[in-house]
Structure 1
């Protein structure tokens, strides 16, 4: 999905949203009180390509701990695990953490004979700017700007470069008046430095074949992405689902022979049993 340029009318609309958010700040309801922590266990199934651009998909069935922590500095919720360095009414500074699963070249046709892709953890700072929200706080629009460094998870860890994914994020709470029903959407471009693109998309001369010519990946624009998620919290259960679409057209590495398809779709569903929560509550939009 290619991201449209911002025409003057759209820019004016965004500025209107920012202005209206500032204007109604005094009338906003305070964030609702929620347990400091919640604990449970769940299982999910997800399907996604081996790596962005792969034409092979795998499905994973996995157990997971359901952990929600709404601490002043440490947060664990649907947006992942992050450290909150600074929070104001308009801006949050966080530490963002993500990860990727390994890819065995024996199981991937495009990478046959090449080194395996190790699992990685990606960590780095993220700035969140609160652009607009309704007085009842049931609709929230943020600009999020995470910058993360990838590090392989192995006996001798190596860095694999930086990725920057600015996006507009819209959260809808208690959708259609249904308590606990939450919908989230975000969209934005992706950028990576040369080291990151090289890790996934370079074909060194020694791994070149008649059907896979040598290719040196470079940094820059890495495509665009959009995600929609839905979840609902019941008294002792939580259920969630997501669908993510990415388009690599125009990416700096789009001509790599390892990019077999430029449209990438992934999704998953999960169910968790929540068996404990704290009696202490804190104000939170999450």
Structure 2
């Protein structure tokens, strides 16, 4: 997909990308800077859309900023959350997800169809802390259930279109001190259901796009797939944190697996990147 770099960076700067590589589980007695900023660089290889058998690789360089105020926190593991709604066993905040689009002329299944634009999702998230764990030699862990509902939008950076809604419960285990004090492990399992409008965007084939190899298809709402994600992050230096991540998505049983655009029951993604902390405040605040 042909995208102006400056607009892509502007949109991605809204993501809490710095938190991806800093997911090292803040403990009750941890003290963090009130604010910090720096640079994020990541390389991601992802399917062009759910159940596609083709993928694309994207390089994402963006600045990041985190603010930890007394009542509001921004970019500290989420887009924004009110500290007053951050209890020992639950948190209420905003979640955001994003995915790159695809040039249909480069995708065998979609040749002759409209391109898929850059997608972003925004909505509330209720994070339930189910359990805590302590290990003699491998730090501490936490198990969460995140209940996420997000509105989905697409943009070619000349306008924004609403593409429906997703519901995505996310069961996530995080462990700090897995291999060393500053090493973090994260494992999550996330089934996803979506409204008909989003399924239409990925899987609908209208009469004007029918070919000898692509029959007409009317998409419907329902189950989209389940993703298993494993990531590891660690400190390379005091100011540089590195992350590695890999995921697989299983689409067997999805609502629209009969679509001619539904190609592969299993897809894979990988990512690697780093966060470079350049500035931080002298004032510290509790990480929670």
The TM-score bracket by the shorter chain reads 0.7 to 0.9
CA RMSD of aligned residues (A): 2.0
Query: How has the CA–CA distance of structure 1 residues 152 and 127 changed in structure 2, closer, same or farther, with 3 Å as cutoff?
Result: same
How far apart, CA to CA, are the structure 1 residues paired with 2:41 and 2:95?
24
Alignment correspondent of 2:267: 264
How far apart, CA to CA, are the structure 1 residues paired with 2:173 and 2:94?
20
- Does the CA contact (< 8 Å) of 1:163 and 1:190 recur in 2? yes
- Following TM superposition, by how much is the alpha carbon of 1:132 offset from its aligned partner in structure 2, in angstroms? 0.6
- Identify which range, 132-141 or 186-195, moves more after superposition: 132-141
- Following TM superposition, by how much is the alpha carbon of 1:173 offset from its aligned partner in structure 2, in angstroms? 0.5
Return 5+ residue gaps in structure 1 as ranges: 1-28
Alignment correspondent of 1:44: 42
Return 5+ residue gaps in structure 2 as ranges: 1-26
Query: How has the CA–CA distance of structure 1 residues 224 and 33 changed in structure 2, closer, same or farther, with 3 Å as cutoff?
Result: same
Alignment correspondent of 1:141: 143
TM-score scaled to structure 2, two decimals?
0.82
- Following TM superposition, by how much is the alpha carbon of 1:102 offset from its aligned partner in structure 2, in angstroms? 2.4
- Following TM superposition, by how much is the alpha carbon of 1:75 offset from its aligned partner in structure 2, in angstroms? 2.8
How big is each residue's C-alpha offset from its partner over 1:19-61, in whole Å with a ceiling of 9 and x where there is no partner? xxxxxxxxxx734112222222242221111111111111122
How far apart, CA to CA, are the structure 1 residues paired with 2:66 and 2:178?
21
53, 59, 62: which is aligned to 2:60? 62
Alignment correspondent of 1:205: 207
Q: How does 1:216-235 map to 2 (within 5 A)?
A: 216-233=218-235, 234-235=237-238
2:116 is equivalent to residue 114 of structure 1? no
Secondary structure at the aligned position of 1:198 is classed as helix
How far apart, CA to CA, are the structure 1 residues paired with 2:88 and 2:60?
37
- Identify which range, 165-174 or 55-64, moves more after superposition: 55-64
How far apart, CA to CA, are the structure 1 residues paired with 2:116 and 2:82?
31
Secondary structure at the aligned position of 1:206 is classed as helix
How far apart, CA to CA, are the structure 2 residues paired with 1:271 and 1:183?
15
Alignment correspondent of 2:32: 34
- Does the CA contact (< 8 Å) of 2:78 and 2:93 recur in 1? no
- Does the CA contact (< 8 Å) of 1:82 and 1:97 recur in 2? no
How far apart, CA to CA, are the structure 2 residues paired with 1:151 and 1:203?
20
- Following TM superposition, by how much is the alpha carbon of 1:204 offset from its aligned partner in structure 2, in angstroms? 0.9
- Does the CA contact (< 8 Å) of 1:164 and 1:192 recur in 2? yes
2:258 is equivalent to residue 255 of structure 1? yes
How many equivalent pairs are there? 255
198, 206, 230: which is aligned to 1:196? 198
Query: How has the CA–CA distance of structure 1 residues 140 and 217 changed in structure 2, closer, same or farther, with 3 Å as cutoff?
Result: same
How far apart, CA to CA, are the structure 2 residues paired with 1:198 and 1:284?
42
